[in-house]
Structure 1
Amino acid sequence: MSNRWKKIIAWSVVVLLVFTGAALVIKRKKALSRAEPPRVLPAVVDLIKVVRRPVRLTLPAMGIVSSDTSARISTKVSGRVTKVLKKEGSPVKRGEILATIDNVDLKTKKRNLLLKGANLDYEIESKEAALASLEIALANAKATHARTKELLDVKGASIEEFQAEETRIASIEAQVKATENALEALKNSKQMVLEDIKNIDNLLTYTIIKSPVNGTCAEKNINEG
């Protein structure tokens, strides 16, 4: 077969394919033109009516709730707890007793101080009486000495008697001074005893634990014993 016929056959095949493709395209367009257009299906949606109102937002979590107005109660006195009168969760009133601490030692010290104070009072009273007697004796000695001086001036008394009275006056004055010092020391001791009693009375108030406010016992960290 010559090259001429080969070319004719090739071009014939190409033309046939072109016409076949065109026919298929035309047929497809006609089919599409006769087909019904796709229906638009309605969309199904949920409707919510919007209402304006306050909304509380919460976040679940674990934690410990504590009051910002809580009062932690403690005491200055250490010792054995004799009573605990409130439990956790119990309501309390201001001034109500919550617990007590053993105060036997403090009361014993106070009794001893009271006894010491009574003895000091007796000693002070005795010293004051002695001082009063010495002051009277000193006044009498000075009065006698003044008369002796007058007699001495007119030769009615001896110089020895006059000097003896001076010595006695000096001795009494020394006794007065010593008694005054002793009396001052006793009074200072009594004042110290009174201060100690006052301090013990103050400590005794801490052996009775009271609520400073109205509220609820949230936590208890002590037990009897």
Structure 2
Amino acid sequence: YISMFDEYNEANQIAKTAATAADVPAGSGIKALDEDGTPCSSDYYLRLTGDGGKLLKGEIPLTEKRPTPTVVGGGGDPELPTGDLALRRSATASGQTQGYAPGNAVDGDARSYWESPNNSFPQWIQVDLGKSQPVRRLVLSLPPDAAWAKRTQTVEVLGSADGSAFTSLSAPAGRVFDPAKDANSVTITLASTANARYVRVRFTANTGWPAGQLAGLAVYAAS
């Protein structure tokens, strides 16, 4: 598959699939993906179709639940956690390789990713939540494609109220990312709820590539 789009005005205009009513061209009559009350990322059906192909080829196991959440990061699916505080927020990093910018980790696209400069640990990526608020759990992910081989990244989670003084919220630990499990994601639950505006993930090792890598940085207030 290549893309999803909506066509209107007798198909002489094309726009990307509308995730919410805010994305719908005025007067077009197009219905957004959340019309039935379930929020969906604009690429949801593409991801679902892609995973369907993988199921048919035996690349991922058959499950009773949908293999792809309706919203990248877990929101919008009643069987999955909601309320990603980091989604589409401002993200910065210690550095990046080529066009693999930090914003890719909070854009809701499971296959776009941030990558730090190579052979230069430690590296970090952080998100500005807009204001200090409770933080209890993070979901970190890499692209779900099988080409992303299993790897262990050593990460630490830090928080700050002002973007200057940071406190460790979760000690450095090896986190295993495996495309065959949990859509190549890792959940980090903090020992207790912390208040932070800036949440930083610090990388000191990666067995799969000499750089920090992250396609999804989701932050939740509840465990």
Q: For this structure pair, what is the TM-score category when the shorter chain's length is used for normalisation?
A: under 0.3
- Which structure has the higher relative contact order (CA within 8 Å, separation 6+)? 1
**Could you tell me the TM-score, scaled by structure 1's length?**
0.17
Query: Could you say which structure has the higher strand fraction?
Result: 2
